[in-house]
């Protein structure tokens, strides 16, 4: 049995049953929610345990919705037209997989994006739109 200090200090916190099921009332509308570990402050998206310290004491926060495209792939299967799937590095420090609106050929690593819709009704992924200019500091 592994001892985690959070169990003794916070016995009721960290149940994995409702990680992102209940949207806190202070985050209404179309926002992208993520978790932050209370022990090591690592930001993550849609996890049950912290990938750094394996803690289960996660705090749900709302993202500002801005990020940078880290990788983009064009997919041609199971769809009538080509679509992209991109890895977006958010300003809070976590990475999320989503779709960027626009022509798949015009989306490149380093492009800045803004959240458009928190959940695509078909693929259930966040949808982003391009913001003018690329962020040169991360290229």
Half-sphere exposure of 14 (CA within 13 A, CB side): 17
- Per-residue tens of pLDDT for the chain, all 139 residues: 444 444 444 444 444 444 454 444 554 557 889 999 999 999 999 889 999 999 999 999 999 999 999 999 888 877 777 788 899 999 999 999 998 988 888 888 899 999 988 777 677 889 899 997 545 554 4
Q: What is the DSSP letter of 9?
A: H
Report the alpha-carbon distance of residue 136 to residue 139 in Å, rounded. Answer: 5
Q: Which stretches within 4-138 are classed as H helix?
A: 5-9
Q: What predicted TM-score, i.e. pTM, was given to this entire model?
A: 0.69
Half-sphere exposure of 91 (CA within 13 A, CB side): 12
């Amino acid at each position: 049995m592994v001892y985690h200090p959070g169990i003794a200090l916070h016995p009721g916190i960290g149940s994995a049953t409702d990680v992102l099921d209940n949207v806190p009332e202070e985050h209404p509308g179309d926002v992208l929610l993520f978790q932050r570990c209370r022990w090591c402050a690592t930001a993550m998206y849609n996890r049950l345990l912290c990938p750094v310290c394996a803690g289960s004491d996660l705090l749900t926060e709302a993202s500002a919705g801005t990020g940078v495209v880290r990788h983009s792939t064009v997919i041609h299967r199971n769809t009538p037209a080509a679509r992209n799937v991109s890895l977006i590095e958010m300003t809070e420090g976590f990475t999320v997989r989503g779709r960027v609106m626009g022509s798949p050929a015009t989306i490149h690593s380093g492009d800045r994006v803004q959240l458009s819709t928190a959940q695509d009704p078909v693929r259930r992924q966040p949808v982003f739109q391009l913001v003018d200019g690329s962020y040169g500091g991360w290229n």
